[in-house]
A and B are shown apart, each in its own frame.
Chain A
Amino acid sequence: MGLPETKQSETEARVNALTMPGGAAWAVEARNEALARVQAKGMPARRDEYWKFTKPTRFVSVEPTPAALFDAQEEPMFDGIERLKVVFVDGVFDADASDDLAAENLEIGRLADATQADIHWVKDLYGMLETRGQDPVDRPLAALNTAFATDGVVLRATGPVARPVSIEYLHASESSDAILHHVIRVEEGASLTVLETGPAAARFNKCMEVDVADGAAFHHIRMQGRDHERQAVTHSFGRLGRESVYKSFTLTVNGVLTRNEHVLELLGDDAVAHIAGACAGDGDFHHDDTVFITHDAVNCESRQVFKKVLRNGAVGVFQGKILVKEGAQKTDGYQISQSLLLDDDSQFLAKPELEIYADDVACSHGSTTGAIDETALFYLQSRGVPKSIATDLLVLSFMAEAIDEIEDERLRDDIQARLEGWLARRRS
């Protein structure tokens, strides 16, 4: 079946403008297969059901829309935390700014090197979870990433890794277009925390494949860069083994366009997956959280908590699905997506979905849109709290359920401080 004409030509133009990196035979094969997926699916278009709420044009265009550089004028994120830094500038690895790529219980390297070599776990994983994630919904931008990613980080935890690995994305060129792909394997009983921070590029396409083995734990905390004009599409593909844990939190403040997709499969019994996100947008801001969680084992728990604070015409999108397959009994699935609109110009579009083929499950979902509680606001003001501070307190209390998903206290405090800073800078 051929693609519609525009889609066909847009896809060709996009693909032709990119150069596929070379590498070992397996890597070239994986990339060519990914390219075939791109060509079969075509680049996303506004008419696609999955892109109903978010215009994909800027992700699809041949040239990226430039994004002005932004001086955040604050301490780098996670600065007070003992971490292993891996730095990319506009998608290009910066060895000088990075730490030695070595840590106990950890194999760590660059994708650009790993695709030249023959590392079994990279070979097994690269493009594999992304491919699995293409069913039942097409994710062509992820396939495009697998085909053309220029670099990334490959990580294999073989035991508890003490220091978080912090991938820091700097943005130095107004017209940069970065495609990075990380491959992560957390072996049986091992644990790993990955941090991500920074704007990365004018346009950033990032894909992360995370394979969490039986009894392993993966934690992910991300703060997306504050550059107002940056655009990012990210995919996190996760596969969870028996009694494994996968927990991810993202804070997004600013960014003209962001689409974060999480695609998780719970394949082993008693696995736990938590995905949370807090975003705060002011003005020209469009933020899309798209989540697809598949329960395919017994007694697993999944939890999605997304909170959005929007003002001055900012737009928030949530598309979240829980699919409980036949036999996935005792599934405990929870999903909440809420927005707080600080004015009438802002907008929240939500599509929560449950699809359940097992009979002994407890799944709940809820989505709400609301304004600041005027009664609470007056109560605070009547105690002498100025309106702007009272509003911030109520915003923070609204965000708390998402922020509280971060288990590590220092990381939680750091994220909380960023959010407070963002609010304080906007106090009227």
Chain B
Amino acid sequence: MLDIKNLHVKLEEEDKVILKGVNLSIGSGEVHAIMGPNGSGKSTLSYVLSGKDGYEVTDGEAALEGADLLDMEPEERAAAGLFLAFQYPVEIPGVGNMTFLRTAVNAQRKARGEDELSAGEFLKVVRERAKTLKIDADMLKRPVNVGFSGGEKKRNEILQMAMLEPKMCVLDETDSGLDVDAMKLVSEGVNALRSEGRSFLVITHYQRLLDHIKPDVVHIMADGRIIKTGGPELALEVENNGYADILAEMA
């Protein structure tokens, strides 16, 4: 599904190298988790995959189902099936959440040569999916993320994911800021989307989330590289001992 090879990324404006040769392969239907100390480059990886400005790829490649991602505009990557749930979802005053969702869904359908959903069909699906995430009608009407609590913003990200039905979902610290119940809701939302044709890359600091969303593979990122890869037990090790041992082992 997603193949990242030897990815090197620096900041466009400064001579700061952030990713120093990331290698990562996620098969169809798999769930991978990335853990790693603050500042190790996890969000940067997610931004570079989705095409945010400000980063320069100096070497390496990233492909989604064989198609070169790095060559595409952000909207083309989305239409190709990539989705990023932001660590910090963006507030957009003046754009209604519903308008935003419908515009996004229809833009992707159009890009894929599918018919646009009618207003009625769309409304029905949104309402149903919003309900399972406990997002009420008022939140759908309000401007995108404006005045949403931290947890509401994260739930809204998952709603977008549910509506867009991407193939490759990157979740950047979707668990941060969530209370215990919300974490369950969000995990259920994610698990409901798990399928053979859909893969997940879950960035998190905590084992807790991985209790709900069970990963097939866990990676540890440090200083711009994946330094260790293992099974779910790796997350438990981090939870119990922190990164010191792993970092020492690699040094």
Binding site for B on A (CB under 8 A): 373-376, 378-387, 389-390, 393-394, 396-398, 400-401
Within the complex, the shortest CB–CB distance from A371 to chain B, in Å, comes to 13
Q: Which residue of B lies closest to A381 (CB)?
A: B74
Query: Of A373, A380, A398, which is within 8 A of B100 by CB?
Result: A380
Q: Which residue of B lies closest to A386 (CB)?
A: B75
Q: Which residue of B lies closest to A404 (CB)?
A: B94
Residues of B within 8 A of A382 (CB): 50-52, 74-75, 77-78, 83-84, 86
- Whether B94 pairs with A389 at a CB distance below 8 angstroms is no
Query: Of B93, B95, B108, B143, which is within 8 A of A384 by CB?
Result: B108
Chain B residues 159-174 with CB under 8 Å of chain A are: 160, 164
From known contacts A374-B53, A386-B107, A393-B103, infer whether A381 and B93 are also in contact, taking CB-CB under 8 Å: no
- Whether A397 pairs with B103 at a CB distance below 8 angstroms is no
Residues of B within 8 A of A394 (CB): 92, 94-95
From known contacts A384-B79, A384-B104, A385-B104, infer whether A378 and B94 are also in contact, taking CB-CB under 8 Å: no
- Whether A383 pairs with B164 at a CB distance below 8 angstroms is yes
Compute how far the CA of A380 lies from the CA of B86 in the bound complex, rounded to whole angstroms.
Answer: 12
Q: Which residue of B lies closest to A385 (CB)?
A: B107
Among A373, A393, A396, chain B packs the most CB atoms within 10 A around the CB of A393
The reply to whether the CB of B90 lies closer than 8 angstroms to some CB of chain A is: yes
From known contacts A383-B164, A384-B104, A384-B164, infer whether A396 and B94 are also in contact, taking CB-CB under 8 Å: yes
Q: CB-CB contacts of B85-125 with A at 8 A, as 1s and 0s?
A: 01001111111000110011101100100000000000000
Residues of A within 8 A of B89 (CB): 379
Q: CB-CB contacts of B175-215 with A at 8 A, as 1s and 0s?
A: 00000000000000000000000000000000000000000
From known contacts A387-B73, A393-B95, infer whether A381 and B78 are also in contact, taking CB-CB under 8 Å: yes
- Whether A397 pairs with B104 at a CB distance below 8 angstroms is no
- Whether B95 pairs with A381 at a CB distance below 8 angstroms is no
Q: Which residue of B lies closest to A379 (CB)?
A: B90
Among B53, B86, B104, chain A packs the most CB atoms within 10 A around the CB of B104
Q: Which residue of B lies closest to A388 (CB)?
A: B75
Among A382, A383, A387, chain B packs the most CB atoms within 10 A around the CB of A383
Compute how far the CA of A425 lies from the CA of B74 in the bound complex, rounded to whole angstroms.
Answer: 23
Q: Interface residue count for B (Cβ, 8 Å)?
A: 31
Q: Which residue of A lies closest to B104 (CB)?
A: A383
Q: Which residue of A lies closest to B88 (CB)?
A: A375
Within the complex, the shortest CB–CB distance from B96 to chain A, in Å, comes to 9
Within the complex, the shortest CB–CB distance from B153 to chain A, in Å, comes to 12
Residues of A within 8 A of B90 (CB): 375-376, 378-379
Given contacts A378-B53, A379-B86, A401-B94, 13 further A-B contacts (CB under 8 A): A375-B90, A380-B92, A380-B104, A382-B51, A382-B74, A383-B78, A383-B160, A384-B79, A384-B107, A386-B111, A393-B99, A397-B92, A397-B94
Compute how far the CA of A94 lies from the CA of B135 in the bound complex, rounded to whole angstroms.
Answer: 57
Compute how far the CA of A387 lies from the CA of B73 in the bound complex, rounded to whole angstroms.
Answer: 9
Residues of B within 8 A of A383 (CB): 78, 100, 104, 107-108, 160, 164
Residues of A within 8 A of B105 (CB): 384
Give me 27 A-to-B residue pairs in the complex whose CB atoms sit less than 8 angstroms apart, sorted by A's number. A374-B53, A375-B90, A376-B90, A376-B91, A378-B51, A380-B92, A380-B100, A381-B51, A381-B75, A382-B75, A382-B78, A383-B104, A383-B107, A383-B160, A384-B78, A384-B79, A384-B105, A384-B107, A386-B107, A387-B73, A389-B107, A393-B100, A393-B103, A397-B92, A397-B94, A397-B95, A398-B94
Chain B residues 120-169 with CB under 8 Å of chain A are: 143, 160, 164
Compute how far the CA of A398 lies from the CA of B95 in the bound complex, rounded to whole angstroms.
Answer: 9
Residues of A within 8 A of B83 (CB): 382
Q: Which residue of A lies closest to B93 (CB)?
A: A397
Compute how far the CA of A394 lies from the CA of B95 in the bound complex, rounded to whole angstroms.
Answer: 7
Q: Which residue of A lies closest to B163 (CB)?
A: A383
Residues of A within 8 A of B74 (CB): 378, 381-382
Within the complex, the shortest CB–CB distance from B51 to chain A, in Å, comes to 7
Residues of B within 8 A of A393 (CB): 95, 99-100, 103
Within the complex, the shortest CB–CB distance from A376 to chain B, in Å, comes to 5
> Which 3 pairs between the two chains have the least Cβ-Cβ distance?
A397-B94, A384-B78, A381-B74
Residues of A within 8 A of B91 (CB): 376
Compute how far the CA of A393 lies from the CA of B94 in the bound complex, rounded to whole angstroms.
Answer: 9
Q: Which residue of A lies closest to B47 (CB)?
A: A378
Residues of B within 8 A of A381 (CB): 51, 73-75, 78
Residues of A within 8 A of B51 (CB): 378, 381-382
Within the complex, the shortest CB–CB distance from A419 to chain B, in Å, comes to 13
Compute how far the CA of A382 lies from the CA of B104 in the bound complex, rounded to whole angstroms.
Answer: 9
Compute how far the CA of A393 lies from the CA of B96 in the bound complex, rounded to whole angstroms.
Answer: 10
Compute how far the CA of A379 lies from the CA of B104 in the bound complex, rounded to whole angstroms.
Answer: 11
Compute how far the CA of A282 lies from the CA of B17 in the bound complex, rounded to whole angstroms.
Answer: 40
Residues of A within 8 A of B107 (CB): 383-386, 389
Compute how far the CA of A383 lies from the CA of B75 in the bound complex, rounded to whole angstroms.
Answer: 7
Within the complex, the shortest CB–CB distance from A165 to chain B, in Å, comes to 32
Residues of B within 8 A of A380 (CB): 92, 100, 103-104
Compute how far the CA of A387 lies from the CA of B75 in the bound complex, rounded to whole angstroms.
Answer: 7
Residues of B within 8 A of A390 (CB): 75
Q: Which residue of A lies closest to B109 (CB)?
A: A384
From known contacts A378-B52, A378-B53, infer whether A384 and B111 are also in contact, taking CB-CB under 8 Å: yes
- Whether B103 pairs with A385 at a CB distance below 8 angstroms is yes
Q: CB-CB contacts of B18-29 with A at 8 A, as 1s and 0s?
A: 000000000000
Residues of A within 8 A of B108 (CB): 383-384
